[in-house]
Structure 1
Amino acid sequence: MKKTRYYPFERNRYFYGKLLTVRDFESEQKYFNDKRRMMNRLLHGSGVLTGLQVVAVDDKSVSVEMGAAIDALGREIVVPTPMTLKLSMMDGFSNNEYAKNVYLCIAYDEKDKEPVHAVANSSVRSDEINDYNRVLESYRVFIREDAPDPASLPLANLSDQTVVLYQDSKVRVLQTTPRYVNPGQLFEMKLRFEKTLKAGRLSFQYELAADRVEAMDGTTIAFQEPQDEPDSEYEMKVLLRADSTASVKSTIGVQQGSAVLKLDDRQLDIQAQAVGEVQIIPTSVHEKLMNDFVKQSLEASLEAPTEPCIYLAKICLIKMGATYVIENVEQVPFGEYVYNSSVMYRLGQTSQYREDTAGQFVTKSKVKTLAPGQPPQFKVNYNKAISELSFDLSIPAGGGSGIAGILSGVVDIPVEPFTKIAVSPFGRATKSFFSGEIAHGLGEGNVLIITSLEESSGDAFSDMLSSGDRVYGGASDVFKGSEFEPDAPEVKIGTIAYPQKGTFRIGVKVQQTSEPMNVRVRWWAYSAEMASTVRSGGDSIEDALSAAMREAASAGSGAE
């Protein structure tokens, strides 16, 4: 199908005795088709409407489920029944190499149907007097072995600009920056790495060349593909700050001659010339983007490729002997979806309500000073009405390290990025990070160490006196999806004590983080004597904690 021009619209004018020809009937259809397709394009956009999932059925074949889509010319694509396709039999698939990524695409197509005897054409088409009575609006499915230019995707440059820093048959490196920022604003530059699964371990390092932009963590940008669970896509975020000068343009790219891109020990020849542009504006970025969109010309709004298609899946192939096997299938890799207004309304409603928090609770800690000479106290209470688990510590005047048998502190554990992009059948990626050895100050011997995730800073006790601070005990994923969700990623905390050295170590297991950060852990260390003398209604610390936890669990399960 050739690129169409929807406008100006022209329809038939009927009058009594008018001679109707093929041209009149064709223009009647074209009038309504063009209007509908233009509205599809302007009101809805292009992409998958529903269904069209791509599933690997064996090592060399995929299945495309039934579904519907709208292409970049506003034409509807409907797949009425599932179909199974062998990659090697599809248009566009070549056998030049097997370790590669290929893209499964779908495009609008028309096919003639119902051949009939055309008497009127026999005088001019003596060699073929048959014609077709119907046109079937259909589709064609094919393979593209090259990733599309980022600028060719729908709404690609609406809010961001993506440039290609490097590309070959095995690796592609993309840089994405926002189109507009305000003076002094912190913003993220995203680096996206796409590679074939067996290409080797990817590493990329370069010096950032930026005008009117400051890199918050230094100008040396370095990425190293993690060794565990190799993937085909990774994303890295770099934090930048815009200049304080307004109404200027900033450029961001790679300093000439500084880039080193490797696959294992093999260095690739990279000559990065592409740069991204960021405009620093004094007005609202949101309003500027909306103005750019609504004020663009009709021609620009309807701009589309001559033969548009929708990328349904990225299929990762690996070489196996003399042939290939399908390793992974990523659905709609470039986010080409169309969300109707009803779906958007329901999603908007959902975001306004809290998810059910049954079985979840918030932990709070509080320190109180007692008169000198009084024994320290440790109380644990559970408030069923507000799902709150509180820890109250009372210590004699003198505070902190002056109290024999109990000490507290915080430690910041650095977490490096290890984002995992594609969906894995083995679950989400996790990685553990550890602190150095911490001297608890209670001397040699066994100690009881209690840890919690903290979202505050300061000294050992004053932070806990602030009602706005949060100290999370146990698994942080308990609060995921609620208003109590911590800013830090999902964390599990463990400790190792060294009784003969009087030290301990804290470890955290983190799930899927894409930027460097510090996880702050608060710890309490109790000597054996303190643990046996601190009471909560006659119970030991462990008994008090166990009783409160049982009550919280009972409340979460609906027990009275």
Structure 2
Amino acid sequence: MRKSRYYPFERNRYFYGKLLTVRDFESEQKYFNDKRRMMNRLLHGSGVVTGLQVVAVDEKSVSVEMGAAIDSLGREIVVPSPMTMKLSMMDGFTNNQYAKNVYLCIAYDEKDKEPVHAVANSSVRSDEINDYNRVLESYRLFIRETAPDPASLPLANLTDQTVVVYQDAHVRVLQTTPRYVNPGQLFEMTLRFEKTLKAGRLSFRYELAGQRVEAMQGGTIAFLEPQDGQESEYEMKVLLRADSTAGVKATVGVQADTAALMLDDRQLELPAQNLGEIQILSTSVNERLMSDFVKQSLEASLEAPSEPCIYLAKICLIQVGPTYVIESVEQVPFGEYVYNTSVMYRLSQASAYRDETAGQLVTKSKVKTLAPGQPPELKVNYDPKISELSVDLGIPAGGGTGLAGIVSGFVDIPIEPFTKIAVSPFGRATKSFFSGEIAHGLGEGNVLIVTSLEERSGDAFSDMLSSDERVYGGASEVFKGSEFEPDAPEVKIGTIAYPQKGTFRIGVKVQQSGEPGNVRVRWWAYSAEMAGSSASRSGEVDSIDQALSAMREAAPAGSDAE
């Protein structure tokens, strides 16, 4: 089926005595097909809807799993069962070069089936005439050995502009910049390097040519493929800042006579460069992009290549002796997917959840025993990538009250059977119990309190030998279901310090109902003022005030850590 003009729509008008011909029935089918296909294209776009994964089944063959897609003319492509084929048997594959990247494509296809005798034609022709009774809507798999022009991909220029910096049979370098930015805005330029696996080690160095843009890390752009690199694609981000003047056009590209694109020791000659263009707007970028989309003509919205297809996979080949083998398969290399409304809703929910939890702080503490006589240690570290604040406390063996500003002890908190149970929204019964005020003996001022759940055996002989003592640091529920599961109730531990009184209080929240008893909590209190300089170490926090300050800075407003 060639590229067709779907509109204006025209349907049959029926009346009594109308003579129906082949043209009428074909017009009936075309009316409904064209309407559906135009709505597919305008409402859903084009690309893979589900399935169609490409898997290498051996060194020379691939399998396309069952799935569905919509092409750029809105036609449905359905693969009802897995299809396995050798690359060498596919249309478009040539054996003239084995170390290369090839692209497996799928396209809509129609096949005639059910040949029958054409009775009407026999009246005008003496020989026997056959025709086909059905048209099977099918698909065609084939190989393309060159990457597509970035501008030919669906919605390629809606939000970004991609220019080809260099391209040959082994290497392609692309530069992508946003179409619109605001004055003074920081934005990223993406350099994408595509290469065959055995082409050699790639390096690229040049001076940035830009008008009304500024590189934040200097005007020299340099990329060097890792020594042990075994990838066929690399990306490099370059941070730029737009000019403060609105309503003007900025350009960015490669400055002439400064580029050095190398494959091992071989230099590649770059052609005359196309510059990427960026509009600097005083209005909202999102509003402008949406305006561009809704104002484009119907012809532009339905524009499609003369031979539409979907790139299902990039297949990296390497040469082994006189033949080739499949090294790797990359699924849908140009992101041609169709997301239905249910998927988009789920993704928006997940994105909103990530935004809500992005600022939450995770705290972890760890206590270790040092050799007798060693100074105590306190290390506080914050990892912004995972929003984790870790506190590591090292205590010399033998403990002792007030040794280098550290004291230790324990408290037994009585647990009573639940009388009034507070049920959480998830249906779990919880109740909190608290100790009395505990004097830590370090005087007034801020102290750091670290707690752990301590478990002792109910057997008196084991207790005397201390052979069955276990101290759980952090969340003890991680051991649930294992041989290390604690016998004590599942609890959460919290502390309240009273700096002016030199005391603190420990509270536990019991996660399940049980028999009456005690929960033993081991505690350590640390005072930097009493410790003096003995706890100072390179890269460590040497005062409790600094530790608390680090916690406050790391914690989001209103969090427990604050």
Matching of residue 297 in structure 1 with residue 297 in structure 2? yes
CA distance in 2, matches of 1:122, 1:42: 45
Change (3 A) 1:17 1:291: same
Aligned residues: 419
**Deviation per residue, 1:363-395 (Å, 9 max, x gap):** 46699xxxxx99423752368677889997522
**1:405 is aligned with what amino acid?**
S
CA distance in 1, matches of 2:268, 2:524: 57
Matches within 5 A, 1:38-437: 38-124=38-124, 126=126, 129-353=129-353, 361=364, 363=389, 375-377=404-406, 379-381=449-451, 393-396=526-529, 403-408=532-537, 410=539
Change (3 A) 1:463 1:164: farther
**2:535 is aligned with what amino acid?**
I
CA distance in 2, matches of 1:260, 1:363: 44
**Deviation per residue, 1:306-363 (Å, 9 max, x gap):** 21000000000000000000000000000111111111112222334479x9x98554
**1:269 is aligned with what amino acid?**
E
> SS at the partner of 1:237?
strand
Change (3 A) 1:290 1:129: same
CA distance in 2, matches of 1:391, 1:24: 90
**Deviation per residue, 1:85-121 (Å, 9 max, x gap):** 1001110001110000000000000010100000211
CA contact (8 A) 1:366 1:393 kept: no
Deviation of the 1:295 alpha carbon: 1.1
Deviation of the 1:75 alpha carbon: 0.1
> SS at the partner of 1:40?
helix
CA distance in 2, matches of 1:256, 1:14: 68
TM-score, structure 2 as length reference: 0.70
The residue number in structure 1 matching 2:372 is none
CA contact (8 A) 2:405 2:527 kept: yes
The residue number in structure 2 matching 1:465 is 549
Deviation of the 1:228 alpha carbon: 2.3
The residue number in structure 2 matching 1:493 is none
**Deviation per residue, 1:258-283 (Å, 9 max, x gap):** 11001111111112411111100011
Change (3 A) 1:206 1:461: farther
Rg bigger for which structure? 2
Deviation of the 1:405 alpha carbon: 2.3
Matches within 5 A, 1:22-41: 22-41=22-41
CA distance in 1, matches of 2:105, 2:135: 22
**1:380 is aligned with what amino acid?**
V
CA distance in 1, matches of 2:493, 2:173: 47
CA distance in 1, matches of 2:16, 2:6: 29
CA distance in 2, matches of 1:230, 1:33: 46
Change (3 A) 1:264 1:282: same
CA distance in 1, matches of 2:177, 2:27: 45
CA contact (8 A) 2:541 2:547 kept: no
CA contact (8 A) 1:314 1:329 kept: yes
CA contact (8 A) 1:366 1:464 kept: no
CA contact (8 A) 1:365 1:392 kept: no
Deviation of the 1:290 alpha carbon: 0.7
CA distance in 2, matches of 1:451, 1:405: 12
CA distance in 2, matches of 1:329, 1:23: 46
**1:470 is aligned with what amino acid?**
A
The residue number in structure 1 matching 2:422 is none
CA distance in 2, matches of 1:219, 1:391: 54
**1:344 is aligned with what amino acid?**
M
Kindly, what percent of the aligned residue pairs are identical? Answer: 73
CA distance in 1, matches of 2:336, 2:126: 48
CA contact (8 A) 2:363 2:390 kept: no
Matches within 5 A, 1:475-486: none
**1:146 is aligned with what amino acid?**
T
**Deviation per residue, 1:4-33 (Å, 9 max, x gap):** 111000000111111110000000000000
Change (3 A) 1:58 1:291: same
Matches within 5 A, 1:444-455: none
**1:396 is aligned with what amino acid?**
E
> SS at the partner of 2:536?
strand
**1:289 is aligned with what amino acid?**
L
CA contact (8 A) 2:190 2:236 kept: yes
Change (3 A) 1:470 1:204: same
**1:189 is aligned with what amino acid?**
M
**Deviation per residue, 1:145-167 (Å, 9 max, x gap):** 00000000011011111110000
Aligned Cα RMSD in Å? 3.1
**Deviation per residue, 1:206-245 (Å, 9 max, x gap):** 0000000000000100000001242100000000000000
Unaligned runs of 5+ in 2: 365-387, 394-401, 407-447, 453-473, 476-490, 496-522
Give the stretch that moved more between structures: 53-62 or 383-392: 383-392
CA contact (8 A) 1:366 1:391 kept: no
CA contact (8 A) 1:360 1:387 kept: no
Change (3 A) 1:396 1:193: same
**2:217 is aligned with what amino acid?**
D
CA distance in 1, matches of 2:159, 2:187: 13
CA distance in 1, matches of 2:2, 2:173: 32
CA distance in 2, matches of 1:387, 1:125: 95
CA contact (8 A) 2:73 2:308 kept: yes
**2:271 is aligned with what amino acid?**
Q
**Deviation per residue, 1:389-435 (Å, 9 max, x gap):** 999752227x9xxx44222454xxxxxxxxxxxxxxxxxxxxxxxxx
TM-score, structure 1 as length reference: 0.70
**1:86 is aligned with what amino acid?**
K
CA contact (8 A) 2:451 2:493 kept: no
**1:249 is aligned with what amino acid?**
K
Deviation of the 1:469 alpha carbon: 2.5
CA contact (8 A) 1:363 1:388 kept: no
CA contact (8 A) 1:171 1:196 kept: yes
CA contact (8 A) 1:52 1:67 kept: yes
CA contact (8 A) 1:250 1:277 kept: yes
CA distance in 2, matches of 1:123, 1:391: 105
Change (3 A) 1:55 1:126: farther
